[in-house]
Amino acid sequence: MEQIGKKKKKHKLTGIIILVLVLGGGAFAVNSFMKNAQDALQEISAMQIETIKAERRDLSESISVSGTVESENMVKVTSKLNAKVQKINVEVGSRVNAGDVLCIFDSSDFQQQYDNLSQTQQNTKNQSENQHKINLRNLETAKREKQINLEQAQRAIDDAKKSRDEIYAKEAKLVNELNEQIVRRGDAQNKMDTTDDPEEYQKAMQTYQEADALVQSKEASLEAVRDQFSTYDKAIQSAEDAYAAAERSADASIQNYQDILDAEQFQQDHTSQTELDKLADSIAQCTVIAPKSGIITALNIAEGSIPTTDALMTIEDTDALKIKVQINEADILTVKEGMPAIVKTSATGDKEFEASVTRVINIYDSGNLQQNSAGGYSAEITVKDDSKLLIGMTAKVKIILNDKKEALSVPYESILTNDDGSKYVLITEPGEDGTTKAKAVSVETGLEGVYYTEIISGDLKEGDTVIMTPGDYRDGDILPIGSQGEDTNA
């Protein structure tokens, strides 16, 4: 770590010289006092020349911030129940395990509403089930009646066709009988035309007359039968129409009852079930369970009262701690995740805890006016060994932005700048006359630490004696110190 050298104050000699002149009496006294004053001046001037060796040191560039120790895993236990707190099983500082009952709300109102709505829903369900049975029965009845009616209609069709077939059979029989008599009459006519025998003629005439009478009779009967054809055809058509009408009526009735059954699913009371589920969830929420293990760090409820905020309490895990620090706007772009850090707290004294930056929050936070918290950018610091830290402790954190091991370095105040911007330091160099002179050597600087600055190139060598506070000295000036000077920080 860097060691900061102590600066000595310059002394004013004017007062001493004036005092000597006023109090002195005579030239001897003046000369004596002047000699003493010069010796004192030389001695004091020598004291003003502080030197230090150009050495290799561990340098670091850092920013110092502060914050509060928090849990890395914090959870707010919340509830939106509008009910009284019946019992609280914890207090601030209580250690809880995941699954522990933290508090219990009064669930009697929710339970009463649940029971009433459940009974109403059960009654509605019973009515729906009974109506469903009736609808099913009506559907089955309609199907059976369709079958019966169609069977009756089919029988009517069959009867009409049978009657029609019978009349067609009668017509065919009459046609055969008519043809027989026509043939018989023709035969008798031929007999009459060809016989000379009066007796045979007489017999043929009688046969002719009988056959002719029958032909006329059969023709009349046949005509009467044929007149009935349209009646039987119409009877069949009417029976078929009746069948189709019965089928349509039955199908319509069946479809009606099927539609009623299909509509039942849309008549279910989903709203009441949703309300029941909400009430059941509210009853379950009346028993508040710890979602994780940790310590109760905040408690916002009291027994017998209705919570005024959703956040009932806060559980923080003490096994994983972090420090949230505020970062100035000028530094936020230089802070990166993974940077090392050193943490100290008032409670742990000078003990330093190794840590690192685990999160950089580069979104500006305007702060909380109600809690008087300042806004700005922030970062989260994780401590490697946090066994001695407690939640709520105020911590001072040094974030190491950059560091160099064994870097050649000098105090930043010993570095001078030329008009052209180049830099140099004054080192002590022995003169030929035994005096010590100032010598300017060029340097190029690197990392700037808290007190020392890295020299990355130039004419300065390790071990050179550097004037810490050059003041008005320039290259080649004789220094009011002995040969090789004295390293005041050696």
Q: What is the pLDDT of residues 49-85, one digit of tens each?
A: 889 999 999 888 888 999 988 888 889 999 999 999 9
Higher pLDDT, 157 or 318: 157
pTM comes to 0.49
Q: Which of 191, 217, 216, 218 is nearest to 202 (CA)?
A: 191
Tell me how far apart the alpha carbons of residues 157 and 232 are, in angstroms, rounded to a whole number. 11
For the chain, where do the domains classified as CATH 2.40.30.170 start and end? Answer: 65-77+92-97+291-299+313-402
Tell me how far apart the alpha carbons of residues 202 and 210 are, in angstroms, rounded to a whole number. 12
Tell me how far apart the alpha carbons of residues 38 and 17 are, in angstroms, rounded to a whole number. 9
- The pLDDT-based confidence of 488 (bands split at 50, 70, 90) is very low
Tell me how far apart the alpha carbons of residues 273 and 256 are, in angstroms, rounded to a whole number. 29
For the chain, where do the domains classified as CATH 1.10.287.620 start and end? Answer: 110-267
Share of residues in the chain with pLDDT > 70 (%): 86
Quick check: 244 and 157 in contact, CB under 8 A? no
**Vertex 27 angle, CA 23 and 30, to 5°:** 45
Q: According to the model, what pLDDT value does residue 27 have?
A: 43
Tell me: the pLDDT tens digits for 21-36? Answer: 333 444 444 455 455 5
Tell me how far apart the alpha carbons of residues 210 and 224 are, in angstroms, rounded to a whole number. 21
14-58+406-479 CATH pick, 1.10.1760.20, 3.60.15.10, 2.40.420.20, 3.30.470.20: 2.40.420.20
Tell me how far apart the alpha carbons of residues 341 and 353 are, in angstroms, rounded to a whole number. 8
Please state the rounded mean pLDDT for residues 175-181: 95
Q: What is the CATH number of domain 110-267?
A: 1.10.287.620
For the chain, where do the domains classified as CATH 2.40.420.20 start and end? Answer: 14-58+406-479
Tell me: the pLDDT tens digits for 361-418? Answer: 988 877 644 444 556 799 999 988 777 888 888 999 999 888 888 989 999 899 999 9
- The class of domain 65-77+92-97+291-299+313-402 in CATH terms is mainly beta
Rg (CA), the chain: 62
Tell me: the pLDDT tens digits for 209-241? Answer: 999 999 999 999 999 999 999 999 999 999 999
Quick check: 405 and 421 in contact, CB under 8 A? no
| AA identity, residue 110 | F
- The pLDDT-based confidence of 317 (bands split at 50, 70, 90) is confident
Burial of 109: CB neighbours in 10 Å, binned 0-12, 13-18, 19+: middle
Residue with tokens 């905020």: 309
Quick check: 218 and 177 in contact, CB under 8 A? yes
Tell me: the pLDDT tens digits for 249-292? Answer: 999 999 999 999 999 888 777 788 899 999 999 999 999 999 99
Tell me how far apart the alpha carbons of residues 378 and 2 are, in angstroms, rounded to a whole number. 27
Tell me how far apart the alpha carbons of residues 283 and 130 are, in angstroms, rounded to a whole number. 32
Please state the rounded mean pLDDT for residues 425-436: 88
